Amino acid sequence: MPIDRKEAQLRDDICHICAMMYSRGLIRGPSGNVSARLDKDRILLTPGGVMKFDLKPEQLIIVNLDGEKVGPHNDINRDLKPTSELPMHLEVYHRRPDVGGVVHAHTSYVVALTVAGLSLRPQVLTEGMLFLGVVPNAPYGTPTTTELSNSIIEFIPDHDVIILPYHGSITFGHDVWQAFSRTEVLEQVAEIQYLTSQLGGEKQLSKPNIEKMIELRIKYKHNLPSDHKLLEN
């Protein structure tokens, strides 16, 4: 069965994003996973256990919102299984009809922050405030289990980025490119936070300046109900 233009484009986009994430060290080997909403009933996503640097569009698979693999299949993806973190992606798509793409990655500075018992401070970078907003640390959950997918549920409605302690992050957006860009900005914020700690600690941006960034989030339609927490120390 031939695939339509939207599906073909999304397949290319996901492979492009995986290759970029690999080349930038945001994912290593088979780790991490990327998905996109194909239509109201179906999700296109990366298969589990496959190296992401050289992913082929035909390797991506389609599931319904219950997580069941659905066609059309081809010879290349016929025996591939969805990523084992699929339940986490599905929780986001179920709870956020506005979301068109989800990225899960194990980036080093973000994980290091959680291992040190710290929370992310988007306030250290203007782009962090603008594109991430408030970023919570979910309770720890064992990867691939419902303990992990359940751990993010309470944060999904009011956040676009959630950190998974000792593991990584999940970011989402109106499309898969926005979800990817949030993963990039997230890792940059964590890196700046680390560098700042090496330079003697953070000299905090003033509250009026943070308020202006919250206004920009409204202007660019990134705003969420949790934004006011950016003003808390």
Question: Which candidate in 7, 85, 184, 187 is catalytic?
Answer: 85
Distance (Å, whole) CA 68 – CA 65: 7
Handedness of CA 173, 177, 178, 183 (dihedral sign): positive
Strands 33-39 and 101-105, sheet pairing: antiparallel
Q: Kindly give the residue spans of alpha helices, DSSP state H, lying in the chain.
A: 5-23, 86-95, 108-115, 126-132, 146-151, 176-198, 207-219
Q: Is 202 a catalytic residue?
A: no
Q: How far is CA 18 from the centre of its chain?
A: 12
* Per-residue b or e along 109-120, where b marks 16 or more CB atoms closer than 10 Å to that residue's CB: bbbebbeeeeeb
As annotated, the active-site residues are 85
